[in-house]
Amino acid sequence: MLKIKTVEHSWIALLLALAISLLPVVTGITILHYQQDKKLEETARISVKEAVYSVDLALDRIHATASTALSLAGTACEGAQAQLLDLVAQSVHLRSLALTVDGRTYCDTAERPNTKDQIFPDARSQFRLVVDPPAKPHAVLLAYQLRKDNLGVIATAYGLMLRNELRAFQTGLTLLLEFEDLYIWADGDSRDPMRPSQEEFFTEGVSTKYGYRVKAGYAKGYSAREARQTLTQLFPSLALVGIITGAIAYWGLFRQRNLRVRSAASMG
């Protein structure tokens, strides 16, 4: 009978030790997931703010060049053309500049002018994306209109400028810029059959200067892949801690049982 009880106590001690050894592993995995989720959430939030700041600076440069060109609006194209070409040459981000009167283009630096008059539905200053423009098929352009009274300037830049700004964020995060009903991201734009996946930790922000939206999120399954990768690296350490903890617990339980047995024997 004593032998049976000894075996039972040994099994109970072993099971308790196994349970205790699992605690560091389970706790470590739980903390790992929590910290990773907080990190991804914080990265998305900060990236949106930084993207707005970065893109605003790029658009500020276009606005500054357009403001300079606006002083030429209303003058004869023969005299303004050379100055417009100089402004474009000095601004690596620009593709073209065009002068307008009453919303109609009369002087353009583009070799193959397109119908810029039709890009903007009204006279308000704004940025718009233009996909597959007649003068540049299969391209994406960013167009900006600046007006003063009946005179105006339309500046265009390649969408690559915006993509380069987004590609600077090497965090696994998918950032998308939305200008009204059209969008662009690092590897595509509105012509894609589907928007890029941004299901995880989605967040967005709006530029108070220019009105475009920045939308950010991780692709579906991204956090699970990151967790698996991190867990693969950390699991041996967690397992080792669990084994050591379990061994110490088992030794403590075994020692405590032996002390009780000796105490009972001495009293008997």
Q: Is residue 51 part of a domain?
A: no
What's 90's domain CATH number?
Answer: 3.30.450.20
Examine residue 167 and state whether it is found in any structural domain, yes or no.
no
Rounded CA gap, 142 and 128, in Å? 6
Range of the domain at 95: 63-161
* Whole-angstrom distance, CA of residue 84 vs CA of residue 78: 11
Does 63 have pLDDT greater than 60?
yes
Q: Does 97 reside within a domain?
A: yes
The answer to whether 213 and 52 are in contact (CB under 8 A) is no
**Whole-number pLDDT of residue 210:** 93
Is residue 137 domain-resident?
yes
Q: In the structure encoding, which two tokens stand for residue 81, read together?
A: 């053309």
Q: What is the pLDDT of residue 136?
A: 61
Domain membership of residue 258 (yes or no) is no
What's the pLDDT at 264?
46
Inter-axis angle of helices 222-267 and 2-70, to 10 degrees? 150
The predicted structure's pLDDT at residue 170? 77
More confident residue, 187 or 253: 187
Q: Read off the pLDDT of residues 153-181 as tens digits, 9 standing for 90 and up.
A: 999 999 999 999 999 887 889 999 999 88
| Strand pairing category for 200-206 and 213-218 | antiparallel
Q: Tell me the backbone φ, ψ of residue 72, rounded to 5 degrees.
A: -90, -15
More confident residue, 1 or 67: 67
Asked if residue 224 has pLDDT above 90, the reply is no
Is 211 contained in some domain?
Answer: no
HSE of 128 in the Cβ direction (CA atoms, 13 Å)?
18
* Rounded-to-10 torsion of CA 17, 234, 37, 24: 10
Structural tokens at position 210: 């220019």
SS3 for 206?
strand
| Planar angle of CA 222, 227, 228, nearest 5 degrees | 100
Answer yes or no: is 150 within a domain: yes
Between 50 and 16, name the one with better pLDDT.
50
Looking at the structure of the chain, the number of domains it has is 1
Where is pLDDT greater, at 4 or 218? 218
Q: In this predicted model, what pLDDT tens digit does every residue of 79-119 receive, in sequence order?
A: 899 999 999 999 888 999 999 998 888 999 987 655 555 67
Average pLDDT over the chain reads 79
Indicate the DSSP class of residue 157: E
Answer yes or no: is 175 within a domain.
no
Reported as a pLDDT band with limits 50, 70 and 90, residue 1 is very low
**Pairing between β-strand 104-108 and β-strand 96-101 as defined by DSSP bridges:** antiparallel
pLDDT top residue among 22 and 58: 58
